[in-house]
Structure 1
Amino acid sequence: MAISSIGVGSGLPVDQLLEDLRKVENAPLALLESKATTYQSRLTAYGTIKSSIEALKTASDALGKSETFGALKTSVNTDAFTATASNKAIAGQYSVNITQLATSQTLTSGGYADRKEQLADGSVKITVTLQNNESKEFTLSRDQATMEGLVKAINADAKLGVSATMVNDGSGTPHRLLITAKDTGTQAAVKDITVAAGDTGGATDFSKLQNLIGFGAGAPAGGSGLAVTAANNAQLSINGIDITSQSNTIEDAIEGVTLTLGKETEAGKTNTLSITRDDTVTSKAITTFVNAYNNLQGIIKTLTSYDVDSQQGSALTGDSLARRVQTQIRSALNPVAASGAIANLSQLGITTDPASGNLKIDDKKLAAALKDNMADVEKLFSGENGISSRMAAVATEFTKSGGIIANASDSISQTLKDLGKQYDAATLRIDAKMESYRKQFSALDTMMAQMNSVSSYLTQQLAMLNNLSSSSNDK
């Protein structure tokens, strides 16, 4: 007889039996999943530690740079200029008087009615020479020899030293060409603009173009068609010393100081620049370093902790690599053969909390050390065997490609791949086994159904025989 569902024929709870068998067979899969979860947690934890080490190295590297120590800050009593100072500058006060700002030269053409008017009957070669005697040339084809084409060609070449645009003044001949030197100062101004026939398809008549743009030695007969707004150099005095500059940004007129001029000094007013020590640059760098160190220690503590109450470990509980990071990073805090008034972190006001292992800063002691012994503080961190170089060496060994953490992570990644293969193989084996169980139960179900059918048939036949026998006896 046909069986539509396993268990229907026999009445056995076959589906439940198969489900229970699947749970038993899946036990090895749960173990593999647990192992994979553990290894994945370790891999993630290693990545977290690596990122924290890199952050510590960045903070440590800043303490290895000379500009972190003895930084200077500037203040001015005016909006006529701004100033910045490097650590090459010397603290002091300066009087800055600005009599003229640096400006760019501007050349303006007369008006033209048609900006698309043809200005040459063939190709032309235009040469632009600056006052510093730098010369650049470009070529216009016949189709480009218009005001529009000239503007596009000038702006397409960044090396010309000039830029161009057109201005519409609203008159009957409104279109004017405006050429501006890209840099300020007299040396960046245009000296000559000459027009000549091009090498290929050269123009025989380019007088209109020459009248438009010819300048200096290249000006047409009768004078240039370009009006000139002359370039100026910046002129100022610092503590009575006169200074001339091509630019409004003036570097090292005062050693280590950059001045950016904004406007001329108002009559009767004195502009003052003050340069003073800025120890906050160093203290902020040290604080950032201490915070990065404490953050790493806290992360390692969290990742290696063990909860006694729940008897539950963390991702790296008992992990030797994490402890190795902690030990070597701590060791890097001790410079080799340091000397001077500030030879170790405790003399700087930085001590280790015995309970947490974190660093603590005594702000007052740190400020005093920076004020009185900046050179020794710099040596402690950025010397040949200072904390910065030692920390960088340790950090690099852990974080570099092919380093300690990379190798450990690669090993875990390979283990995860192997576990994945084992999981897939085990799943296939379990699926095959469950299919075998299903077939066996199906056969059993069919057999039981057949036996039940035969039993029913025999019961019916015996009942009929019983009835026949009873009828005969009644007669």
Structure 2
Amino acid sequence: MTSTTSATLTSLGLGSGLDAESIVTKLVALERQPITKLQTEASTIQSKISAFGKIQSAVSTLRDAAAKLTSPDLWASTAATSSDETVAKVTTSSGAATGNYSVVVSSLAAAQTTVTNASVASSTSTVGSGTLTIDIGSWAADNTFTQKSGTSSVSIAIADTDTLEGIRDKINSSGAAVKASIVKDASTGAAKLVVNSTATGASNGFRIQADASSTSGVAALAFDPEHSTTGTTRTQAATNASATINGVAVNSETNTISGALTGIDIKVSKVSSTAVSVNVDQDNTTITAAIQAFATAYSSLYSTIKSNTKYDDSTKTAATLQGDSTAVGMGNRLRTLLGANSSASSVFTSLSSLGLQVQSGGALTVNSTKLTSALSNLAEVKKAFAAADTTGSGADGFATRFRSLADELLGTEGPLTSRTTGLNTLVKNNSKRQDELDARATLYEKRLRAQYSALDTKMSQISSTSNYVTQMINSLNAANKSSS
């Protein structure tokens, strides 16, 4: 279309002598004025959609912050401290009870380790053939071995051509719960096979047996003191961690003692005869952070609505959503809900009584001193925020109310969703109308150019005829003058 128009532009009006191109351009511009108006309207609608998108995001953030304040896990959260974390470090989870505990660590959990007595010239030397069978279990004081329930024996065939490295690799790929490595003897430079349990705890020891057909080299890799094998030495026994909590003996196969205290895990790292004090208290830091996040989310939402609905008297400029009933209505509902009292708690009946204060500009801030004081009565603070009233008496907690409002606004038939859907429909209709008018303007321009092109042709013909007649008259006049 552009190239055709350009070709027309170079010739239109030549025959008539009129500035036809200018005439057509101006007439078409007049025809396209409604499109320009629609484009301006579309830009305004898109700005509104963008503004509502920001509000929707802020509502979602407020909804999440309010939901957290209604979560039982938040109000049951605890924090633990240890007087010596190098000995015992404590973490808490759901169900942990507040209290003070005295912990004494008498031993740490360890994995069984064995090392071969005889050295092999090097890790690439062969040791013979046979079969090694590995079992996981526990050793009694009299060297009696008991296989661990749920485990199976693992047999490893060793060939004459297998080097010590090859045997190590076969053990490690066998699926047995042990890990083999090779250590070089510093005094002789010879190689020794070291085997460790992959897990700590008394029930995770191991036994290595060699079958009767194993040659002496392979038999020397076995560890089975119950049957008097002497090829290897146990350098570390498989043991549990042992401790006392408030004088009560506890143990664990790992160095984390779990289950002794509900919701409390104690990770022990060092033996200590001196008691370590462990304190478990309500986690005011986490609760305070959640309340602060709620205040910040509310302030952000209110600020977003305010900035998009205001009218600036100094510049006489209206914001994108100034006068929009949906946005203005949301702001009014937020302010009303913020200032409403609740009977969910008999102690804290307003947000201000909890330390949440509304500033002159509408922002919500937290008075940390007042909130800290309120948290000394955690049960009532929890009611004030998280109570869910099923009687319809208006005893919902503050966070419950805001979560419900946010759910309503964000719902599939909520005001935000409906308004955004409506605006998107306007954009589609606007675009469709622009296309229709653009097509009409294109046809109009085509028709004008055809008409002026035809006029050019006629005017050109008339001009040629006129020139011919003038020449004939001039010739006749000249002939008459000559004859006279």
- Normalising to structure 2: TM-score of the pair? 0.78
Amino acid at match of 2:201: G
Amino acid at match of 1:236: A
Structure 2 distance, partners of 1:436, 1:193, is 100
1:472 aligned onto 2:464 = no
Amino acid at match of 2:462: M
Deviations 1:301-324 (CA, angstroms, capped at 9, x unpaired): 112223455554333233333244
* SS in structure 1 at match of 2:251: strand
Amino acid at match of 1:83: V
Structure 2 distance, partners of 1:20, 1:320, is 41
Residue 247 of structure 1: aligned partner: 254
User: Do the aligned partners of 2:296 and 2:365 also contact (CA within 8 Å) in 1?
Assistant: no
Residue 7 of structure 1: aligned partner: 13
Q: Once the 2 structures are TM-superposed, how far is the Cα of residue 20 of structure 1 from its aligned partner?
A: 1.6
Residue 294 of structure 1: aligned partner: 299
Structure 2 distance, partners of 1:256, 1:130, is 29
Q: Which of 376, 380, 383 is the aligned partner of 2:380? A: 376
Alignment map for 1:7-406 (pairs within 5 Å) = 7-69=13-75, 71-77=78-84, 79-86=86-93, 88-92=96-100, 94-108=101-115, 111=120, 113=122, 128-131=135-138, 132-136=148-152, 160-165=176-181, 177-190=193-206, 192-193=207-208, 211=219, 215-216=223-224, 222=229, 227=234, 229-251=236-258, 253-254=260-261, 256-265=263-272, 271-276=276-281, 278-308=283-313, 311-330=316-335, 333=338, 334=340, 337-353=343-359, 355-371=360-376, 373-384=377-388, 385-400=396-411, 403-406=414-417
* SS in structure 2 at match of 1:26: helix
Q: Once the 2 structures are TM-superposed, how far is the Cα of residue 218 of structure 1 from its aligned partner?
A: 11
Structure 2 distance, partners of 1:400, 1:421, is 29
Structure 1 distance, partners of 2:317, 2:341, is 39
Structure 2 distance, partners of 1:13, 1:141, is 103
Structure 1 distance, partners of 2:126, 2:458, is 104
Residue 433 of structure 2: aligned partner: 422
Q: Which runs of 5+ in 2 are unaligned?
A: 1-7, 139-147, 389-395
Alpha-carbon distance change, 439 to 205 in structure 1, aligned in 2, over 3 angstroms: farther
Q: Which runs of 5+ in 1 are unaligned?
A: 197-203
Amino acid at match of 2:410: T
Amino acid at match of 1:413: N
Structure 2 distance, partners of 1:356, 1:3, is 60
* SS in structure 2 at match of 1:135: coil
Deviations 1:6-36 (CA, angstroms, capped at 9, x unpaired): 2233332233223222321221211221232
Q: Once the 2 structures are TM-superposed, how far is the Cα of residue 296 of structure 1 from its aligned partner?
A: 0.7
User: Do the aligned partners of 1:185 and 1:245 also contact (CA within 8 Å) in 2?
Assistant: yes
Structure 1 distance, partners of 2:213, 2:35, is 91
With 308-317 and 424-433 compared, the bigger mean Cα shift is at 308-317
Alpha-carbon distance change, 456 to 332 in structure 1, aligned in 2, over 3 angstroms: same
Structure 2 distance, partners of 1:454, 1:167, is 116
Amino acid at match of 1:361: V
User: Do the aligned partners of 2:132 and 2:158 also contact (CA within 8 Å) in 1?
Assistant: no
Structure 2 distance, partners of 1:440, 1:434, is 10
* SS in structure 1 at match of 2:91: strand
Q: Once the 2 structures are TM-superposed, how far is the Cα of residue 175 of structure 1 from its aligned partner?
A: 5.9
Alpha-carbon distance change, 272 to 3 in structure 1, aligned in 2, over 3 angstroms: closer
Structure 2 distance, partners of 1:3, 1:368, is 82
Structure 2 distance, partners of 1:335, 1:115, is 82
Structure 2 distance, partners of 1:344, 1:264, is 51
Alpha-carbon distance change, 361 to 188 in structure 1, aligned in 2, over 3 angstroms: same
Deviations 1:167-191 (CA, angstroms, capped at 9, x unpaired): 566899966554433322112222x
With 47-56 and 442-451 compared, the bigger mean Cα shift is at 442-451
- Normalising to structure 1: TM-score of the pair? 0.79
RMSD: 4.0
Alpha-carbon distance change, 118 to 403 in structure 1, aligned in 2, over 3 angstroms: farther
* SS in structure 2 at match of 1:243: strand
Alpha-carbon distance change, 98 to 40 in structure 1, aligned in 2, over 3 angstroms: same
User: Do the aligned partners of 2:127 and 2:218 also contact (CA within 8 Å) in 1?
Assistant: no
Instruction: Tell me the matched-pair count.
Output: 455
Q: Once the 2 structures are TM-superposed, how far is the Cα of residue 293 of structure 1 from its aligned partner?
A: 0.7
* SS in structure 1 at match of 2:59: helix
* SS in structure 1 at match of 2:81: strand
Alpha-carbon distance change, 83 to 142 in structure 1, aligned in 2, over 3 angstroms: closer
User: Do the aligned partners of 1:213 and 1:226 also contact (CA within 8 Å) in 2?
Assistant: no
Structure 1 distance, partners of 2:98, 2:297, is 32
1:450 aligned onto 2:461 = yes
With 452-461 and 430-439 compared, the bigger mean Cα shift is at 452-461
